[in-house]
Structures are given as structure tokens and as C-alpha cells.
Amino acid sequence: MSKLARRQAPALRPAGLIVAGFILVIMVGALLLTLPMSSADGTGTGLVTALFTATSATCVTGLIVVDTATHWSTFGEIVILALIQIGGLGVMSLAALLGLLVMRRVGLRTQMAARAETKSVEFGDGRRVILRVIGTSLVVEAVIAAVLTVRFAVGYGQGLVHSAYLGVFHAISAFNNAGFALYSDNLVGFVGDPWIILPISAGLVIGGIGFPVIFELRRAFRRVRGRAAHPDRKTPARPWFSLHVRMTLIVYGALAVIGVVVLTASEWRNPGTLGPLGFSDKLLAGLFSGLSPRTAGFNSIDVAAMHPSSLLVTDVLMFIGGGSAGTAGGIKVTTFAILGYVILSEIRGEPTVHAMRRRISPEVQRQAVTVALLGVGAVMLVALALMYLTDFRLDAILIETVSAFATVGLSTGITPSIPAAGQLLLAALMLLGRLGPITLASALALRERVRRFERPEERPIVG
């Protein structure tokens, strides 16, 4: 190829690298899961089942078509765990780390891809960002795994090795908001055990708020500690947190409280969920049921037995999701908040959109509208297709499709009964939800179009 041809050849954008990386990992994982050694009975697994499971694990969703606890062998479970970890950290972040360790340097393109995957709000050394992401993930997972290991060993009489295995698996699944569990009833058997439920809840919240929030919180803690150690030292006045962090923490916290209160109150007397539990167990189960849709996918009560109103609230919480640049899915709480500020500004008749004493750019507003509308469209199209393919109720199908798009994993139990065509649709929806509508669209676009002129302005009637 000549120099001119190489110069004119379009480079693969970071979004394209991310899409290609995820698809490659899913394919490799699916092939490994089809092997006889991956199944507990040694007979192998069908390609559609393996592909669905690999997609669900890599996209940290948690929807399953076979029982994780009984169908897969230890090797198959380890494959699933590896896919969860890779999907949670981001394929491109791991690729950049590998380049750092092997070649002692990271290419610019890989750094850009890693930043796009982690949506880092900082501009700095890409290697440092990637190492901080991975280091933070491993530390949090290790702490949660240690607590769970002790509990499984002391409280349930499991051997130390098996307890450590259970602790590590559920810690990684919790921090990455995957929702995979090594029990057939997920976490229903631990509904009243705070030593299991609370560490997993902490993991899903920390992973769900996003790495930029975690990094800024850590910097704020260091600033407080530095001021306490040197009270006479003068430091320049600056905002404690960025708009992104403030918006994420406030909206995430508010939705968490609303979800916990509404679902606990709605299910308090339901004989199929919270009804038979004691007072303290009801509170613990209600807390977990309100946090899990943010997009962990674990369940300590029977989702299929929940009231239709509770399922609708769960749909909303799942669709909104968690924080950007974390392991959670959905349209993200910042997107939801920006849309709220856009509506508020329009109601007030203000020409620009302001949030927390900051102006929101028109580009960000358009991105928020695009993400939300593409998400609604994708969920509705797949839900409509599943209604033609199956005989299930709308509320069950809607839980399934929103759960797939928001990479949650909560289900009323209909996933194994959905035909292969429907399962493939759900797998595609999981991939779309993990990568994000705008990321996927930009990756598939052949080129960017530059508008060289503007048409005359006209205002159609709205409403």
C-alpha cells in the first residue's frame, strides 16, 4: 500500500475498537462455554445458550437461560467470571494495561479507546487512568470477597477454599453489577443475612456510581486529610466536586431512596415476597430490592411474585440505571438529570439550560435526548418482537427487555422459555445497552459528515 493510500485510509475510531473488542471477547467466551468441560455433565452446551451466556457475562447483565449453579462446571463458572471482569473493566482498558506491561508504552489510539470506555472526565496520562481504574476495582473486590469468605466459612460451614471461591465470585459479580450468583435461587436464601446482603449492596453501589465519581471522592478525602494535617497551609479556593459528580451523587441517592421506600411499601404485605419475613428482614430485603435495579440484577425475593406496580417501578429504576463510566447500565442518572433540567428550563421559558450554577451546553442536551430516545426505541422494538414470539404478559416481557438494555439481569423467570430468536434479540439488546447507543452508532458510522451550509430556519408547531 502506498503512503498516499495509507494516509487516506480511515483509522478505526475508539468506539469501533470498543465494539470490536467486546464482540471478540463474547465470541471467545461463547466458544469456551460450548466445550464439554464447561458443562457440569460434560456433554457440552448449545451455541445459542453459550452465546447468550457469554454476552450476558461480558455485558455484565446477569440474564441466564440455564441455571448457573447446576449447568456449568467449575471451568465454565471461571470463564463466566473472567468475562464479567473483562466486561466490567472494559476491553480497551485491559488492552492498554497489557500494552503497558509488555511494551512499557501504550499507543495513542488504545489510550483514546480506554478513555472512551471509562469516560474519564480527566485529561492526563492514559496509563495512569487505566491503572487507577483497575487498581480501584481489585481493591474493592478484594475487600468484599474477604468479608463474604469469612461469612460463608463461619456462618454456613463451607470449607475455606470453597468459601473463598464463593466470596471472590460474588464480589466480582457485585462490583461489576453483573448479577450472576452460584445459587439456583440467586440470593433468596440469604434474604435475612446482612453479612451477605450488605457487602454485595456496597459493591454494586460503588461500582454503579462510576469511576470519575470514585476518583473525585478520593481526591476530596485527601484534601480534607491534608488540611487537617496542615491547618496553617493556605490552599487556593476551588469547588469540591465537579457538576458531574454532584449530579450523579444527588440523583443516584434520591432515586435509591425512592426505590427502596416505594418497593418496600408496595411489597410489605405481599405473601410471595416480603409478607412472610420478619420486620428486620423486610427492611433488609426492601433495601436490597430498591438498590439492585440500579443495575446489579441480584434478587433476594421472587421477582415473578412482585405486584405489577412494583415491576413498573423496577422498570423505571432499571432504565435510568447508575452513574456514567461505571459498571452500571441504563441511560445513566446524569442523562436523566439533564433531561429534567431541560424540561424545567423550557417550562420557565429560559433560553439556556442551567444546572447547579452551571450552564449545560446544547451538545450535551442533544446527547441526553438521543441516548434516552434510542433506549426507549430499542426496548420497545424488542418488546414488540417478543410479544409476537411468545405468549407472556406485557409486564414480564417489559422487565426482560428493560433488564437486557439496562444490563441489569432481573427477570420473572421467562428467559429460558423464550425462543432462540428472542434470546438472540435480547443478546443484541444487552450489547447495545452496554456500549451505549451513541457509542455503537458512531462505531458503525462510515464517516462523519460536516454540514457546510444551513437551511432557512422554521418553527413547526410542537404539542
CB–CB of 293/176 below 8 Å?
no
For residues 83 and 93, give the distance between their C-alpha atoms in angstroms, rounded to a whole number. Answer: 14
Q: What is the pLDDT of residue 41?
A: 92
Kindly calculate the radius of gyration of the chain based on its CA atoms and give it in whole angstroms.
23
DSSP reduced 3-state for 360: strand
In a domain, 454, yes or no: no
For residues 296 and 199, give the distance between their C-alpha atoms in angstroms, rounded to a whole number. Answer: 13
Q: What is the pLDDT of residue 235?
A: 53
In a domain, 392, yes or no: yes
Average pLDDT, the chain: 84
Highest mean pLDDT among 94-108, 158-172, 284-298: 158-172
Q: What is the pLDDT of residue 378?
A: 94
What is residue 305's DSSP assignment?
A: G
Quick one: which of 344, 396, 379 has its CA closest to 365?
344
In a domain, 420, yes or no: yes
Minimum mean pLDDT among 88-92, 236-240, 376-380, 402-406: which range?
236-240
Q: What is the pLDDT of residue 116?
A: 53
**Domain count of the chain?**
1
pLDDT tier for residue 301 given thresholds of 50, 70 and 90 = very high
Q: What is the pLDDT of residue 29?
A: 96
CB–CB of 89/134 below 8 Å?
yes
In a domain, 121, yes or no: no
Q: Is the dihedral of CA 362, 366, 371, 375 positive or negative?
A: positive
| Maximal CA-CA distance, the chain | 75
Stretch 35-61: mean pLDDT: 94
Q: What is the pLDDT of residue 384?
A: 96
Dump pLDDT digits (tens) for 339-389: 999 999 999 999 899 988 889 988 788 888 888 999 999 999 999 999 999
Stretch 192-220: mean pLDDT: 89
CB–CB of 329/322 below 8 Å?
yes
In a domain, 385, yes or no: yes
Phi, psi of 361 (to 5 degrees): -70, 155
Stretch 295-315: mean pLDDT: 93
Beta bridge partners of 39: 72
Enter the C-alpha cell of residue 31.
466458544
Write the CB contacts of 95 (distance below 8 Å, at least 6 apart in sequence).
21, 110, 113, 114
In a domain, 299, yes or no: yes
CB–CB of 177/327 below 8 Å?
yes
With a pLDDT cut of 70, the percent of the chain lying above it is 82
Q: What is the pLDDT of residue 217?
A: 85
Quick one: which of 434, 384, 363, 447 has its CA closest to 405?
434
DSSP assignment of 126-162 = HHHHHHHHHHHHHHHHHHHHHHHHHHHHHHH---HHH
Q: What is the pLDDT of residue 175?
A: 93
Stretch 410-417: mean pLDDT: 93
pLDDT tier for residue 267 given thresholds of 50, 70 and 90 = very high
CB–CB of 201/80 below 8 Å?
no
Phi, psi of 8 (to 5 degrees): -85, -15
Q: Which amino acid is at 259?
A: G
Q: What is the pLDDT of residue 316?
A: 95
| pLDDT reading at 28 higher than 80 | yes
Q: What is the pLDDT of residue 90?
A: 75
| pLDDT reading at 170 higher than 80 | yes
Q: Which domain holds residue 58?
A: 15-104+130-229+241-443
| pLDDT reading at 194 higher than 70 | yes
Q: What is the pLDDT of residue 261?
A: 96
Q: What is the pLDDT of residue 356?
A: 87
Stretch 398-407: mean pLDDT: 95
CA torsion, ordered 349, 350, 356, 358, to nearest 10 deg: 160
What is residue 417's DSSP assignment?
A: G
Q: What is the pLDDT of residue 298?
A: 93
For residues 265 and 169, give the distance between their C-alpha atoms in angstroms, rounded to a whole number. Answer: 32
Higher pLDDT, 4 or 427: 427
In a domain, 213, yes or no: yes
pLDDT tier for residue 92 given thresholds of 50, 70 and 90 = low
For residues 274 and 400, give the distance between their C-alpha atoms in angstroms, rounded to a whole number. Answer: 22
Specify the pTM: 0.87
Write the CB contacts of 282 (distance below 8 Å, at least 6 apart in sequence).
264, 268, 274
In a domain, 10, yes or no: no
pLDDT tier for residue 19 given thresholds of 50, 70 and 90 = confident
